[in-house]
Each structure stands twice: as structure tokens, then as C-alpha cells.
A and B are shown apart, each in its own frame.
Chain A
């Protein structure tokens, strides 16, 4: 047996995320409970070379601002459970709306793959996507697939593999905000990293604090509170 890595699948509803999950894992699926939570997520294994990828199917969401429990589950998994790779599945036919979620994920974690699904449908509709330009602009691999036809799977699996082995290093390009917001981030960020160290992206936590996301605050308190008291 080789190494085993956790790969989380995120994406908007109706992007074919479940089709991809089912196609990759086949019948090697089960529902797993993760530590300390009552939430259960579908999981399944993919064998690639001598490595096992444990795929976790996060709930489909339009954003990660914790408006609903589903968004919170997905966000908490990516931020606190720290999968080795997060694959964001986008619908090639409505990319503009879909990128929103991808950009949010890129703020939270480094090892991200942008997986553009339904590429066959998009091509039929005359939508030509230049994944090299997108990779350049985003700083992480962008891959085109068709989950229905199992097209692009070798590329996707190989990219996951090269990220976990360190052959590719992801350097997500952060979204820059208007100057006034950036200034405030600068004021908060050092204090955040002092408090939580390198566990979470200090920039992202600062943004959420400014944003007034109390559910995240409670979550951080719950997870880091014990360390503080010790």
C-alpha cells in the first residue's frame, strides 16, 4: 500500500460534481463522519499509481460566506480539516458565476485545482476556454474535463498526484480589494497570525473578521480555545 491523501470536491450545485465523484470512485463509496461533528459526507477512494486518493464530496454551494449550514460544512472542511488538495468543480457553460466560489476557495487554502466540467457541452455551445491563461491568472492548475464521458480524468488525477508529491507548487493569486479594505487588512493581519500562527491563512481570517462572520469566530474559538487555555 502506498500513501493516502484526502481530496475534497467543492462546487456550485448542478455542476456535475456528483457525476465526477461517482465516476471516479465507482462503488468504492461510503459515508464518513468526521471528528467532532455530526455531519456526514460521502467519501470514496480512487487508486492512482500506488497512491490512494480519499475523495470527500462537500455539499454543493454558491458561496462560502456561511449563509447556510451547507456552506458552513463545506467551508469548515476546507479550512479546518485541511484536505491535501481541494478540487473546485465549475460548470463550463456558466463560468462567470462559478468563478466566484473558486476565488473564495483560493483565499482559504493553497492546494487547489480548478476543474472545469461539462467541457463537451460548452464546446458545442461555442464556448472556447483557454485554460493556460486561466492557470496563469489564478496561480493554480486549471483542468478541463467531461465527467459524463470520463474525459480529462488522467490529467486531473496526475495533477492531484503532482500536487501531493510536491512536484507542482500552487501559489494562488489573491484577490486584491479596494484600497480602504486592503489597509484595514494590513492592520489586522499581523495580530491574527500572532494569535493563530500558520494554521489558517491570516489574510483570509482578517477578511472574515472585518466582514463580521461570527460563526467562523465561534468555530475558531472552539478549535483554538483549548490551546489558548493550555
Chain B
């Protein structure tokens, strides 16, 4: 007898209410155990939790508080990351001089110096100095909010909106995960039971920026969006721009979820009870150390591992000439007309294409491309970085478009791979690629054409 036959036999014995009976029996036994093993000497309820929840999940204050928290989180990240970022950049810049001196001392051929120092070293140290400080601040702060018990309240607030667009409230939790890493967030959608709602969460997760894109967003916002401000105000304006970009990503999430739930993924959202845990004082030191050490470090290692080969590749392409044009320039010139339509350029398009394996490397590759065709300045501060962009015709519109494209474009290679593993469907994986790409092309296109039409630029 096979297990299949046994199952058929069991099904004949079984009745419809059997599972209910099983569950009920478990509940009754739990109840008996508690009655026997527990004594309650006080009858107080956790009133503090109720009072706090009345504020945090209030229909009036809930959303403003959430936005403020988000703003404070970004402000701390941006303002706090500036100084260590430029210190790291300066340190790596001065180290580069010694490296160059060393290479000329041992009479290394020019191409060795080019690949290793101008390609590998510059590319990877840029990733480190731009990305490490924001991550080392963002992750622990986010983890503290999670430990305190605030994040489930965010899910509770968002639940109303998600229900309205036909999605599941738990999607807000998977989105929160996406702020860290979209690839991990795709796996976290397993908490959503309904396959339809889970698919919605998977397909739209990409619209929250992962840490691979934080670097790009923060750098561009602070270089171009708040150019006329100084000091604390500068960080504040940058924060405003980033909050705006994140809000826009959330709006796109709602919009796409709504369209999909009316078309390809029709259905009624399932109900569930979201349990709000009590607020707990977080273990501050443990949390900070663990999330900044393990998380930041592992994300950084991943970035460096992927960025290093890409930086070398970019340098090689920029230095192999067919006729009097490098391979890189052929690609850039080919992509340029299309990029210009979106208010971007050929270099940016190429950086995004080469950046498919990981979003972390888009900015370094772009920089490598620009450096190889521009004048080689000493890049040891964030101001020099802006000059490189300006030399290549950047305006605030370019920066805005690049930020939007970065926010909206196709998920990175790892995320796509996870989507395929989770959905086991080529069709849905392809859609997960196609939907964001189309939106990422449309939005900057519309903005650019509008700005040009009205002559604002």
C-alpha cells in the first residue's frame, strides 16, 4: 500500500469538521493547562500599550507620526553620514597617491596601474566611502524601531490602505524588509498566505529602495537637490527630497497593486488578525552592535565583491580602442539618444545595464565611465564628485531623473533570481522585470518632456 492510497482511505474516514475538532481540542487543552499552572495575582492590563497605541495607530496621528519617524530616520542617516563619508573619501584619496607612487617605483606598466588603481581601487573605495556610513547609521536605527515594537504599528496603519487597493496588510512588513534588501524581502513574503496577495507583494517590492540604492539616492540628493543650502538646512532639504522619493515609490506600489488586483491578479483581499505585540524597551547596545557589525559588513562585502570585477571591466572597456573610439564609448554613443529622451545620458544607461547584478555598483561604474573620458581629477571629496557630473552636462533634472530611474527600474539580479525561486514561474519573473522597467522609462520621460516643453530647463 502506498502513502497515496492511505491518504485516500484517510479521506474517506475524515469529516469536514475534523480539522475544527482538532484545533478546538488543542485550544481546550491549552486552556486547561493555563487554568492549572498559572495564577493571576493582579488583574491589571497593559494600559501603557493601549495608551501608546491610541496615538501611534490613530487614524489622525498615525500617518503624520510615521512620516515624521521616516524623516527623522533619513535625517539622522544623511546628516550623520556626511562627515565620515568625506573622511573616508579623503583617506582613500590620499592612500591612492601612495599606491600610484608605489606602482611607478616598481616600474609597473601603465595598464597594471590603470586596472588596479584607477579601476579596482577607485571603484571599490568609492562604494565603501559613500555607502558604509549611511548603512552603519540606518540599519541600527531601523532595528531599534523594530525592537521597540513600532514596526507592527506601521503595518497596522498601512493595512487600511493595502486593503483598499486589494492587497494584504502584511505587505507593508515585506516592504519594510525591502528597505534593507529586496532579495531578502521577496523571501519574506512567505508570511502572506494567499498566493494572489503574495504575488502582489513580490511584484511591487522593488519600488522601495534597497540599501544598494540608498547610496545613490543620498549622494545625488545632497549634491544636486540642496545645492543652495548649507549646514543643517542642507541635510533637511535632502531629507525632504528623499522622503518624497520614498513616498513616490510607495504611491507607485499602491498604484501597481491596484491595477494588478483589478486585472491579472483579481480577487478579494483575505482578512487576518494582526497582533500588536507590547512595546518593549530595546536592548540598545546589542542591537546597534549586531546590526551595524554583521549587517553593514555583509552588505558591504557583497558590494565590494560585485563592484570590483565590474570596475575592472569598465576600465578595460574604456581603454580598448577600436579605431579611435573605445568599446565603452561605442556603447555610450549607442545608448545616448535613448538616455537623452529620459533626461539621462548614455553613460547612465550603461551604468544601469552593467549594474544588473547589484544596484550598489551603478554609481561606481558611472564614475568609472566619466573618469575615463573626462579629465582625471583627484577624487578625494564629495565636491569633486559633483564637478565630474557637471563636466558631463548634469543638471538638477539629470539628478532627479537618475534618482527616479534608480527607484523604479528593474530589480537586481539576486532579487530576480529569488523571485524565480519563490514563484517558480518564468512568466511572473519576467513581469517582475518588465513592469518596473516600463514605469522607470515612462516617469523620467514624462518629467523631462514636460520640463523641456515649458522651457524650465
Contact = CB atoms under 8 A, between A and B. Distances in A.
- Top 4 nearest A-B pairs (CB, nearest first) are A126-B42, A99-B30, A14-B277, A209-B10
B1 A27 contact: no
Given A127-B38, A134-B33, A181-B21, 16 more contacts: A29-B294, A59-B190, A67-B193, A68-B190, A68-B193, A96-B30, A96-B31, A99-B30, A100-B30, A128-B39, A129-B38, A130-B37, A148-B280, A177-B25, A191-B9, A211-B18
Interface string A104-144: 10000000000000000100011111110110011000000
A97 B2 CA distance: 37
Interface stretch (A3-11, A81-89, A158-166, A217-225): A217-225
Contact of B40 (A97, A126, A206): A126
A99 B2 CA distance: 34
Nearest to A31: B298
Contacts of A211: 14, 18-19, 22
Contact of B18 (A67, A104, A126, A181): A181
20 contacts: A13-B277, A14-B275, A27-B293, A38-B421, A59-B190, A68-B191, A69-B190, A93-B278, A96-B30, A134-B37, A137-B37, A138-B33, A148-B283, A178-B21, A181-B21, A194-B1, A209-B7, A209-B10, A211-B19, A228-B2
A191 B6 contact: yes
B192 interface: yes
Contacts of A65: 19
For the complex, would chain B's binding face be called helix, strand, loop or mixed by DSSP majority?
Answer: helix
Interface centre among A69, A95, A195 (most CB of B within 10 A): A69
A217 B3 contact: yes
B293 A175 contact: no
Interface string A178-204: 100100100110011011100000000
B13 interface: yes
Interface string B414-442: 00000001000000000000000000000
A188 B9 contact: yes
Contacts of A221: 3-4
Nearest to B281: A148
A209 B40 CA distance: 39
Nearest to A211: B19
B278 A104 contact: no
A104 B19 CA distance: 13
A76 interface: no
For the complex, would chain A's binding face be called helix, strand, loop or mixed by DSSP majority?
Answer: helix
Given A137-B37, A210-B14, A224-B3, A70 B294 contact: no
A207 B26 contact: no
Contacts of A192: 6
Contacts of B46: 93, 125
Nearest to A131: B37
A24 interface: no
B7 A175 contact: no
Contact of A95 (B26, B34, B41): B34
B321 interface: no
A175 B10 contact: no
Nearest to B9: A188
Interface string B32-55: 011011111111101000000000
A195 B9 CA distance: 14
A104 B23 CA distance: 10
B110 interface: no
B29 interface: yes
Contacts of A130: 37-39
Nearest to A207: B22
B391 interface: no
Contacts of A67: 193
Contact of A100 (B4, B6, B26): B26
A206 B22 CA distance: 12
Interface string B261-277: 00000000000000101
Contacts of A52: none
Contacts of B11: 209, 212
Contacts of B324: none
Interface centre among A194, A195, A224 (most CB of B within 10 A): A195
B180 to A, nearest CB: 14
A90 to B, nearest CB: 10
Contacts of B290: 22, 27
Interface in B276-294: 277-278, 280, 283, 286, 290, 293-294
